[in-house]
């Protein structure tokens, strides 16, 4: 029997509000630098390298020719994935909570001659008004949410997807587990958005109990770990492309 995941009431909304405030008001400039070619320190360089490797991984799980396909880049940040999807011919909707980062993404897309090929928006990636998609990409967009809140967000998107969802979570490791425990002890004013490490088995168990994924297949998985970046990709596939409403 498949049931819905029961996230903490309001947990998703609270985390979303925190992330909006943090990235839009406090970290937009740092994020803009991290996702550029500007030289950065050793720590941030490992994060940049890890993110670039993860981006390549997720893109290899999607068709190289996306002409005629509609793709959602959920949590698009400064738009690197959205631009690559557009280069493959996709009609891309790219959304992020941070209006500031979306503005940067629009500018970079224009500079790459892809103006008009990507519909950049600020808002909630689970909004039904975004419409239906062939594929959805969520790169490090859900790593700050508790497992049940993250899976519930995926479940709200899933009914509007024809092909696949490729996404990442923070895998549990002793180091990430310890960092998460310490972070919970800090006063709110001293906290950056927490990363919530989750065991892969718990992710798989949660997906199996959700009605939204009753007919889906768990596909490839790949972990990227180096320096100060650790993230794990997971592919969710609709067994046979389906027609939506």
Cα separation, 96 vs 79, whole angstroms: 9
- Residue-level pLDDT at 183: 41
| Longest CA span, the chain | 52
Predicted local confidence at residue 166, as pLDDT: 98
- How much is the pLDDT for 244? 67
Sequence-ordered list of residues with C-beta below 8 angstroms from that of 35, at least 6 positions apart, any chain: 48, 51, 77, 78, 80
Stated as kind and residue range, the H or E segment containing 236 is: strand 229-237
Q: Are 104 and 79 in contact (CB under 8 A)?
A: yes
Q: In whole angstroms, give the CA distance from residue 82 to residue 127.
A: 18
Q: Considering just the CA atoms, what is the radius of gyration of the chain in Å?
A: 17
So what's the pLDDT on residue 2? 33
* Six token digits for residue 30: 């740092």
| Best CA proximity match to 88, nearest among 59, 54, 56 | 59
Which superfamily, per CATH, for 11-237? Vaccinia Virus protein VP39 (3.40.50.150)
C-alpha pair distances (Å), 222 with each of 106, 171, 230, 239: 30, 11, 11, 20
Q: Give the pLDDT of the chain (245 residues) as one tens digit per residue.
A: 233 333 444 689 999 988 888 887 778 788 788 888 899 898 889 999 999 999 999 999 999 999 999 999 999 999 999 999 999 999 999 999 999 999 999 999 988 877 668 999 999 999 999 999 999 999 999 999 999 999 999 999 999 999 999 999 999 876 655 544 434 433 344 345 578 999 999 999 999 999 999 999 999 999 999 888 999 999 999 977 666 65
27 three-state secondary structure = coil
96/237 Cα distance (integer angstroms): 23
Structure tokens given for 173: 């490791």
- This prediction has a pTM of 0.87
Every domain of the chain and the residues it spans: 11-237
pLDDT attached to residue 243: 66
């Amino acid at each position: 029997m498949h049931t819905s995941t029961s996230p903490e009431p309001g947990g998703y909304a609270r985390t979303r509000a925190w992330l909006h405030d943090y990235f839009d008001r406090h970290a937009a400039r740092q994020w803009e630098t991290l996702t550029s070619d500007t030289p950065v320190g050793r720590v941030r360089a490992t994060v940049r390298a890890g993110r670039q490797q993860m981006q390549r991984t997720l893109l290899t799980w999607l068709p190289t020719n996306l002409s005629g396909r509609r793709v959602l880049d959920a949590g698009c940040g400064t738009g690197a994935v959205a631009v690559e999807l557009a280069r493959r011919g996709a009609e891309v909707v790219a959304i992020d909570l941070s209006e500031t980062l979306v503005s940067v993404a629009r500018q970079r897309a224009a500079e790459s001659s892809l103006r008009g090929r990507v519909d950049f928006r600020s808002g909630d990636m689970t909004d039904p008004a975004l419409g239906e998609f062939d594929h959805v990409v969520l790169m490090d967009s859900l790593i700050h949410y508790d497992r049940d809140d993250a899976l519930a967000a995926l479940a709200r998107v899933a009914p509007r997807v024809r092909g696949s969802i490729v996404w990442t979570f923070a895998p549990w490791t002793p180091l990430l587990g310890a960092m998460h425990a310490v972070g919970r002890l800090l006063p709110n004013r001293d906290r950056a958005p927490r990363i919530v490490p989750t065991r892969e088995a718990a992710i798989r168990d949660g997906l199996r109990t959700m009605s939204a994924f009753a007919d889906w297949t768990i596909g490839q998985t790949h972990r990227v770990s180096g320096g100060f970046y650790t993230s794990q990709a997971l592919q969710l596939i609709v067994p046979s492309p389906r027609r939506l409403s």
